[in-house]
Amino acid sequence: MASETDLWTWIAEQGRRSALAMRRAISATHLVRRREAFGSTIVPAVGSVLASPSIADWDPEPDYFFHWLRDAAAVMRALVDLMQTEASDDARRQFDDIVRFNLALGDLDGAATARAGYHHATRAEARQFLRPADEIRTLKGERLLGEPRFNPDGTVDTFRWSRPQYDGPALRALACLHFLAAGEQPSRELDRLLRQDLGFTLRHAGEPCVGPWEEDSAQHYYVALVQLGALVHGHEFIDADAGRIAEQRLRFSLARHWSERHHVYAAVWPSTAASADDLVDSAQLLAVLDANLPDGPHSVVDPRVQKTQAAIESLFAREFPINAGYVAPALGRYRADRYFGGGAWYPTTLAAASLCYRSALRSGDERHALIKRGDDFMATVRALTPADGALSEQVDRVTGRQTSARHLTWSYAAFIGAAALRVRCMDERS
């Protein structure tokens, strides 16, 4: 069909643009970030990944000039996908740089940061945004691995933020395992990082923490599932008995999220929500995608996952006026979201497309329909993407205008991942 060919042409071009844009956030050593009120100057180090290279001060765009573990893991996975198609070794080199940078973060000592006088260097009116020095001094070893983000120059983040977050090491481990599954050979640094992150995941499996949106601390479906995915895929790198115990704990925890009344997995447990609309969260789609379990509960073939995805799609099809014109809806995060207007996010909408393609790879009779549904989501993304291919964090739920952070690195990585899955679908179909 001409329309399918046209969409594929756009996906291929947007994939190239996304790869270029994503790479601008990796090792962005040419950028300088000055936070005058805090007396700090940040120059990104080799191997750092900026959540967004756009410099802003919540005026109104958010300040995302940080190295988030989650975003960096998404970039690592996208680089592995690029390794499969590129003729050069650039993606492998960048992947190795990110591994080394992440490994070095584990050697930081918060006491040194406290001694450096970050508090005194900050203007009096801005000190309310700083973490207490006593908290900074505790950041060493295990405590560092629960940090959601760092400065891209490889120093400790001194700002108040939601912590701890126990999915970062699991996501990083999954990225390393994706690298190995692609047939790549591990470096000593990758082996150390992988074992470190799997060990941390074993020790904190199922513990309450801040969720993927860095808001409330609770039992999050997303966190438990990506932890489970890391342990399942990384079983060869961990003690068998410890891995079995942690896996059983996570599977028990995840099973509690099923709502027999509403026929969806709840994003948070326990929950007092009165409707399916208030139980679900698009982070659950990201969880299924990132964990990539081979089969069974919480995989793409789980009928309960499919019902949950259908509920999420139905929610945003009704909630967002922009979706009146799309076959597949642009997805936000959750119903009550009001962050920058609570609009539709590129990563969540692309996650829905990716899950359709991954389901198609494991399906028989419904294969063509699943590919078509994935294409419908990609067509929605196309409609919300400007001619230059720039991807922000989200778009306004009414106007479709891009909002929040510009050039969100995670959005570009998510597009690369979705496009790679579609290529696999087309290759296997032919």
Average pLDDT of the segment spanning 341-361? 98
Q: Which residues contact 128 (CB under 8 A, 6 or more apart)?
A: none
Which pLDDT score is estimated for 363?
A: 83
For tokens 């509690």, what's the residue? Answer: 256
Average pLDDT of the segment spanning 103-107? 96
Mean pLDDT estimate for the chain: 96
Q: Comparing C-alpha atoms, which of 344, 212, 205 is closest to residue 268?
A: 212
Encode pLDDT of 220-235 as tens digits: 999 999 999 999 999 9
* Token code pair at residue 352: 């829905």
- Domain at 386, CATH number: 1.50.10.10
Average pLDDT of the segment spanning 347-371? 94
Banded pLDDT at 2 (limits 50, 70, 90): very low
Encode pLDDT of 250-259 as tens digits: 999 999 999 9
Which pLDDT score is estimated for 187?
A: 96
C-beta separation of 355 from 300 below 8 A: yes
Which pLDDT score is estimated for 365?
A: 80
* Token code pair at residue 266: 């709840």
Average pLDDT of the segment spanning 123-148? 96
Which pLDDT score is estimated for 430?
A: 57
Provide the domain limits for residue 175.
Answer: 2-429
Number of domains in the chain: 1
C-beta separation of 230 from 177 below 8 A: yes
Q: Comparing C-alpha atoms, which of 78, 94, 77, 106 is closest to residue 29?
A: 94
Res. 428: pLDDT tops 80:
no
